[in-house]
Structure 1
Amino acid sequence: MISSFIAGRVRIRCDALRNPEAAAAIEGTLRETPGVLSATANPRTGGLLVEYDPDTVTQEQLLEAARMLEAFAAQEQAAPKKSCCCRRLTKAEAMRISKRGMAGSLAALVLFGLAGRERAHIVAGGLFLAFNAYHLYAYRKRIMA
């Protein structure tokens, strides 16, 4: 939990701080605490830097705050995770979908063309062009180099 401790400054690491809402709430609570000069949470690293007045805040109070943060982290892990259907795709996932979409729509394009289904052939061709356009857009810097 406590990764570094110097009189007047303490750095805490906790997975619960990776949640931006939780990090902001903890940071705000600490800033309002008497004797705390500043509190800075970093959700990307799961870190919290607290600068305090060592004459006002005791080491026991800091340890108690760390225990409370640890209890909060345990509560966060025990809580059921919300499933989110609208998360952003990573670039690798988007490219994988693009490549599979091109392959699948090209296969459908050929099959519909051979079967004589003109309307379906045109739709499959449009899908192929859309997937291909995204693929070319994503690799535009490599293509132009």
Structure 2
Amino acid sequence: MTRIVATIPGRIRIRDGGLRQPDRQDRLQQAVTALPGVLSCRGNPVAGSVVVHYDAARVAPERMETLVEQAVDAELAQPRDKAAIARRLRTNRIAKYGMLGSLAASLALAAAGNKRWHAATGVAFVACLGVHLATHRRQLLR
């Protein structure tokens, strides 16, 4: 699958969501820099992109595209830590149920006039919200 989004002789831009992970991007930059004819390789983890500058007189653009695409495929084919992802999703699901339950309890206690327990369930809601926001911290300020 092609991830090359722009190419001119001497320059290739690659973009993929998997390159938003800094460790993957660093490994890809090392692999691409080792290719023959590559002058520089600069990444942007926020955008999930890498720009490769190479000597077009030394390596044909079609050949360089093929080499870069193979390096990207090799890096992005490495499996992610599925257990950690499953754990994060499970924790987030529990936090969302906690928010829903504590919000319902807080509203019911407020209607009943029980201020102490209303405040306690409000604190529980804020704690669950903190877990939810921590889980999605990377997507908050894109």
What are the equivalent positions in structure 2 for 1:1-145 lying under 5 Å apart?
1-59=3-61, 60-73=63-76, 75-76=77-78, 81-82=82-83, 83=85, 85=87, 97=99, 101-108=102-109, 122=116, 124-128=117-121, 130=123
What SS does the aligned partner of 1:22 have? helix
Relative contact order (alpha carbons < 8 A, sep ≥ 6): 1 or 2 greater? 2
Answer yes or no: is the 8 Å Cα contact 1:106–1:128 preserved in 2: no
The share of aligned pairs that are identical, in percent, is: 24
Answer yes or no: is the 8 Å Cα contact 1:14–1:70 preserved in 2: no
Aligned length: 119
Give the letter for the 1:107 counterpart: A
What SS does the aligned partner of 2:56 have? coil
RMSD: 3.9
Q: Report the CA distance shift for 1:18/1:126 in structure 2 as closer, same or farther (over 3 A).
A: same
Task: In structure 2, list runs of 5 or more residues that go unmatched.
Answer: 128-142
Give the letter for the 2:33 counterpart: R
Task: In structure 1, list runs of 5 or more residues that go unmatched.
Answer: 114-120, 135-145
Q: Which is higher, the Rg of structure 1 or of structure 2?
A: 1
Q: Report the CA distance shift for 1:54/1:23 in structure 2 as closer, same or farther (over 3 A).
A: same
Alpha-carbon shift at residue 38 of structure 1 (Å): 1.9
Give the letter for the 1:13 counterpart: R
Alpha-carbon shift at residue 66 of structure 1 (Å): 0.8
Could you report, residue by residue, the CA deviation over 1:37-67 in whole angstroms, capped at 9, with x for unpaired residues?
2212223333211111222333314312212
Q: Report the CA distance shift for 1:44/1:107 in structure 2 as closer, same or farther (over 3 A).
A: same
Q: Report the CA distance shift for 1:112/1:84 in structure 2 as closer, same or farther (over 3 A).
A: farther
